[in-house]
Amino acid sequence: MQPLGKLRLGVNIDHVATVRNARGGAYPDPVRAAKLAEEAGADGITAHLREDRRHIADADIDALMAALSVPLNFEMAATDEMQKIALRHKPHAVCIVPEKREEKTTEGGLEVAREENRLAHFIAPLREAGCRVSIFIAADQRQIEAAHRIGAQVIELHTGAYCDAHAEGRFDERDAELEKMREMSAFAHSLGLEVHAGHGLTYDTVKPVAAFPEVMELNIGHFLIGESIFRGLGPAIAEMRRLMDEARA
Protein backbone atom coordinates (compact mmCIF):
# COMPACT_ATOMS: atom_id res chain seq x y z
CA MET A 1 0.00 0.00 0.00
CA GLN A 2 1.21 3.52 -0.85
CA PRO A 3 1.42 6.03 2.02
CA LEU A 4 -1.86 7.93 2.35
CA GLY A 5 -0.14 11.30 2.21
CA LYS A 6 2.76 13.37 3.46
CA LEU A 7 3.82 12.39 6.96
CA ARG A 8 3.60 15.43 9.24
CA LEU A 9 6.01 16.09 12.09
CA GLY A 10 4.59 17.65 15.23
CA VAL A 11 7.34 18.93 17.51
CA ASN A 12 6.53 18.74 21.21
CA ILE A 13 8.15 21.65 23.06
CA ASP A 14 7.19 20.65 26.63
CA HIS A 15 10.75 20.01 27.70
CA VAL A 16 11.98 23.44 26.73
CA ALA A 17 9.60 24.55 29.47
CA THR A 18 10.97 21.83 31.78
CA VAL A 19 14.43 23.40 31.54
CA ARG A 20 13.02 26.90 32.02
CA ASN A 21 11.04 25.82 35.08
CA ALA A 22 14.13 24.24 36.67
CA ARG A 23 15.18 27.81 37.49
CA GLY A 24 11.81 29.52 37.42
CA GLY A 25 12.82 32.30 35.04
CA ALA A 26 11.84 33.15 31.47
CA TYR A 27 14.37 31.16 29.45
CA PRO A 28 14.68 29.02 27.48
CA ASP A 29 11.41 30.28 25.98
CA PRO A 30 9.21 27.48 24.56
CA VAL A 31 7.58 29.91 22.12
CA ARG A 32 10.95 30.81 20.66
CA ALA A 33 11.64 27.06 20.31
CA ALA A 34 8.27 26.59 18.60
CA LYS A 35 9.02 29.36 16.06
CA LEU A 36 12.44 27.83 15.39
CA ALA A 37 10.81 24.42 14.95
CA GLU A 38 8.41 25.94 12.41
CA GLU A 39 11.35 27.34 10.45
CA ALA A 40 13.09 23.95 10.59
CA GLY A 41 10.12 22.20 8.99
CA ALA A 42 7.79 21.21 11.82
CA ASP A 43 4.25 20.85 10.48
CA GLY A 44 2.74 21.48 13.89
CA ILE A 45 3.61 22.19 17.50
CA THR A 46 2.46 20.00 20.37
CA ALA A 47 2.23 21.13 23.99
CA HIS A 48 0.82 19.33 27.01
CA LEU A 49 -0.68 21.52 29.71
CA ARG A 50 -0.55 19.24 32.72
CA GLU A 51 -2.72 19.64 35.76
CA ASP A 52 0.40 20.34 37.86
CA ARG A 53 1.88 22.73 35.19
CA ARG A 54 5.24 20.98 35.59
CA HIS A 55 6.37 22.18 32.15
CA ILE A 56 4.00 24.12 29.91
CA ALA A 57 2.12 26.90 31.73
CA ASP A 58 -1.16 28.63 30.87
CA ALA A 59 0.71 31.70 29.62
CA ASP A 60 2.68 29.50 27.19
CA ILE A 61 -0.56 28.34 25.59
CA ASP A 62 -1.74 31.96 25.26
CA ALA A 63 1.58 32.91 23.66
CA LEU A 64 1.70 29.87 21.36
CA MET A 65 -1.82 30.55 20.09
CA ALA A 66 -0.81 34.11 19.27
CA ALA A 67 2.58 33.34 17.74
CA LEU A 68 2.24 30.15 15.71
CA SER A 69 1.70 29.92 11.98
CA VAL A 70 1.41 26.12 12.08
CA PRO A 71 -1.36 24.26 13.97
CA LEU A 72 -1.18 23.74 17.72
CA ASN A 73 -1.92 20.24 18.99
CA PHE A 74 -3.05 20.84 22.58
CA GLU A 75 -2.54 17.77 24.76
CA MET A 76 -4.70 17.58 27.84
CA ALA A 77 -6.36 15.28 30.33
CA ALA A 78 -10.13 14.85 30.18
CA THR A 79 -10.92 17.26 33.01
CA ASP A 80 -13.39 20.16 33.22
CA GLU A 81 -10.56 22.62 33.78
CA MET A 82 -8.75 21.57 30.60
CA GLN A 83 -11.94 21.48 28.58
CA LYS A 84 -12.63 25.12 29.54
CA ILE A 85 -9.10 26.15 28.51
CA ALA A 86 -9.38 24.31 25.19
CA LEU A 87 -12.76 25.87 24.45
CA ARG A 88 -11.34 29.32 25.15
CA HIS A 89 -8.45 28.85 22.73
CA LYS A 90 -10.00 26.51 20.16
CA PRO A 91 -6.67 25.06 19.00
CA HIS A 92 -6.51 23.19 15.70
CA ALA A 93 -6.29 19.85 17.51
CA VAL A 94 -6.89 18.52 20.99
CA CYS A 95 -5.26 15.25 22.03
CA ILE A 96 -6.83 13.61 25.06
CA VAL A 97 -4.23 11.81 27.17
CA PRO A 98 -4.34 9.95 30.48
CA GLU A 99 -2.58 11.82 33.26
CA LYS A 100 -1.28 10.71 36.63
CA ARG A 101 0.38 13.14 38.95
CA GLU A 102 3.07 10.70 40.06
CA GLU A 103 4.19 9.63 36.58
CA LYS A 104 7.32 11.02 34.91
CA THR A 105 5.62 11.02 31.52
CA THR A 106 2.40 9.77 29.93
CA GLU A 107 2.87 6.10 30.68
CA GLY A 108 0.15 4.40 28.73
CA GLY A 109 -2.79 5.02 26.48
CA LEU A 110 -6.19 6.27 27.55
CA GLU A 111 -8.72 3.69 28.78
CA VAL A 112 -11.49 4.74 26.39
CA ALA A 113 -13.52 1.55 26.39
CA ARG A 114 -14.24 1.74 30.14
CA GLU A 115 -15.13 5.43 30.06
CA GLU A 116 -16.95 5.59 26.79
CA ASN A 117 -19.99 7.55 27.91
CA ARG A 118 -18.11 10.17 29.86
CA LEU A 119 -15.56 10.69 27.07
CA ALA A 120 -18.24 10.93 24.39
CA HIS A 121 -19.85 13.79 26.32
CA PHE A 122 -16.47 15.30 27.09
CA ILE A 123 -15.27 15.56 23.48
CA ALA A 124 -18.59 16.62 21.90
CA PRO A 125 -18.20 20.37 22.70
CA LEU A 126 -14.58 20.29 21.55
CA ARG A 127 -15.65 18.88 18.20
CA GLU A 128 -18.46 21.43 17.98
CA ALA A 129 -15.89 24.19 18.60
CA GLY A 130 -14.00 22.98 15.50
CA CYS A 131 -11.10 21.18 17.18
CA ARG A 132 -9.90 17.91 15.69
CA VAL A 133 -10.15 15.48 18.56
CA SER A 134 -7.45 12.88 18.91
CA ILE A 135 -7.29 10.12 21.52
CA PHE A 136 -3.94 8.81 22.74
CA ILE A 137 -4.27 5.03 23.03
CA ALA A 138 -2.41 1.76 22.96
CA ALA A 139 -2.54 -0.30 19.77
CA ASP A 140 -5.53 -2.25 21.01
CA GLN A 141 -8.59 -3.02 18.89
CA ARG A 142 -11.04 -2.49 21.78
CA GLN A 143 -9.70 1.00 22.47
CA ILE A 144 -9.70 1.92 18.78
CA GLU A 145 -13.31 0.80 18.36
CA ALA A 146 -14.30 2.79 21.44
CA ALA A 147 -12.45 5.90 20.19
CA HIS A 148 -14.37 5.57 16.92
CA ARG A 149 -17.71 5.15 18.69
CA ILE A 150 -17.26 8.26 20.86
CA GLY A 151 -16.70 10.38 17.74
CA ALA A 152 -12.94 11.03 17.77
CA GLN A 153 -11.55 11.92 14.34
CA VAL A 154 -7.99 10.87 15.14
CA ILE A 155 -6.19 8.29 17.25
CA GLU A 156 -2.57 8.65 18.30
CA LEU A 157 -0.87 5.32 18.93
CA HIS A 158 1.42 5.21 21.97
CA THR A 159 4.86 4.15 20.69
CA GLY A 160 6.42 4.05 24.18
CA ALA A 161 6.39 0.26 24.67
CA TYR A 162 8.04 -0.22 21.27
CA CYS A 163 10.73 2.39 22.01
CA ASP A 164 11.42 1.05 25.52
CA ALA A 165 11.79 -2.51 24.19
CA HIS A 166 14.26 -1.25 21.58
CA ALA A 167 16.29 0.75 24.12
CA GLU A 168 16.48 -2.21 26.50
CA GLY A 169 17.47 -4.71 23.80
CA ARG A 170 14.24 -6.75 24.03
CA PHE A 171 14.07 -7.08 20.27
CA ASP A 172 11.41 -9.82 20.05
CA GLU A 173 9.08 -7.65 22.12
CA ARG A 174 9.99 -4.59 20.09
CA ASP A 175 9.10 -6.38 16.87
CA ALA A 176 5.86 -7.69 18.37
CA GLU A 177 4.91 -4.13 19.42
CA LEU A 178 5.68 -2.89 15.95
CA GLU A 179 3.55 -5.59 14.36
CA LYS A 180 0.66 -4.73 16.67
CA MET A 181 0.93 -1.05 15.71
CA ARG A 182 1.10 -1.93 12.02
CA GLU A 183 -2.09 -4.01 12.23
CA MET A 184 -3.91 -1.48 14.39
CA SER A 185 -2.98 1.45 12.11
CA ALA A 186 -4.62 -0.38 9.23
CA PHE A 187 -7.62 -1.29 11.38
CA ALA A 188 -8.12 2.29 12.60
CA HIS A 189 -7.84 3.60 9.06
CA SER A 190 -10.47 1.08 7.91
CA LEU A 191 -12.88 2.67 10.42
CA GLY A 192 -12.21 6.12 8.95
CA LEU A 193 -9.93 7.33 11.76
CA GLU A 194 -6.80 9.37 11.00
CA VAL A 195 -3.78 7.70 12.59
CA HIS A 196 -0.98 9.51 14.42
CA ALA A 197 1.79 8.05 16.59
CA GLY A 198 4.26 9.22 19.17
CA HIS A 199 6.07 8.93 22.48
CA GLY A 200 9.72 8.13 23.01
CA LEU A 201 10.65 8.16 19.30
CA THR A 202 14.31 8.72 18.42
CA TYR A 203 16.45 8.62 15.29
CA ASP A 204 16.88 4.87 15.94
CA THR A 205 13.20 4.04 16.26
CA VAL A 206 11.36 6.48 13.99
CA LYS A 207 11.71 4.81 10.60
CA PRO A 208 9.64 1.63 11.02
CA VAL A 209 6.74 3.71 12.42
CA ALA A 210 7.10 6.40 9.73
CA ALA A 211 6.84 3.63 7.13
CA PHE A 212 3.31 2.61 8.16
CA PRO A 213 1.27 3.92 5.20
CA GLU A 214 -1.74 4.89 7.34
CA VAL A 215 0.24 7.00 9.83
CA MET A 216 -0.18 10.68 8.96
CA GLU A 217 1.59 12.43 11.84
CA LEU A 218 4.33 11.75 14.38
CA ASN A 219 4.59 13.80 17.56
CA ILE A 220 8.11 13.89 18.92
CA GLY A 221 9.53 15.92 21.78
CA HIS A 222 11.90 14.74 24.46
CA PHE A 223 14.53 13.23 22.19
CA LEU A 224 14.57 16.27 19.87
CA ILE A 225 14.94 18.76 22.70
CA GLY A 226 17.78 16.65 24.14
CA GLU A 227 19.47 16.29 20.77
CA SER A 228 19.27 20.05 20.22
CA ILE A 229 21.86 20.48 23.01
CA PHE A 230 24.37 18.82 20.72
CA ARG A 231 23.40 19.96 17.25
CA GLY A 232 20.92 22.81 17.69
CA LEU A 233 17.14 22.56 17.44
CA GLY A 234 16.89 23.30 13.71
CA PRO A 235 19.41 20.62 12.64
CA ALA A 236 17.97 18.10 15.16
CA ILE A 237 14.52 18.53 13.61
CA ALA A 238 15.88 18.52 10.05
CA GLU A 239 17.55 15.14 10.68
CA MET A 240 14.29 13.68 12.05
CA ARG A 241 12.47 15.02 8.99
CA ARG A 242 15.07 13.42 6.72
CA LEU A 243 14.69 10.02 8.38
CA MET A 244 10.89 10.23 8.18
CA ASP A 245 11.02 11.11 4.49
CA GLU A 246 13.50 8.32 3.82
CA ALA A 247 11.23 5.78 5.55
CA ARG A 248 8.26 7.03 3.58
CA ALA A 249 9.93 6.94 0.15
Tell the burial category of 102 from Cβ atoms under 10 Å away from its Cβ (0-12, 13-18, 19+): exposed
**Is residue 14 a contact residue for ligand PXP (CB under 6 A)?**
yes
CA end-to-end span of the chain: 12
At position 72, the amino acid (one-letter code) is: L
Out of 7, 9, 11, 12, point to the residue binding ligand PXP (CB under 6 A): 12
The site map against ligand PXP for 127-166 (x = CB under 6 A) is: ---------x-------------------x----------
**Is residue 201 a contact residue for ligand PXP (CB under 6 A)?**
yes
Out of 83, 106, 185, 228, point to the residue binding ligand PXP (CB under 6 A): 106
**Is residue 228 a contact residue for ligand PXP (CB under 6 A)?**
no
Question: Distance between CA atoms of 16 and 38, rounded to whole angstroms?
Answer: 15
Which C-beta is closer to ligand PXP: that of 55 or that of 148? 55
Q: Which residues contact 170 (CB under 8 A, 6 or more apart)?
A: none
Beta bridge partners of 132: 93
**Residues carrying an active site annotation:** 48, 75, 199
What single DSSP character describes residue 170? -
Q: Using CB under 6 A, which residues numbered 180 to 199 contact ligand PXP?
A: 198-199
Which C-beta is closer to ligand PXP: that of 1 or that of 20? 20
Q: Which residues contact 247 (CB under 8 A, 6 or more apart)?
A: 206, 207, 208, 210, 211
Which C-beta is closer to ligand PXP: that of 1 or that of 144? 144
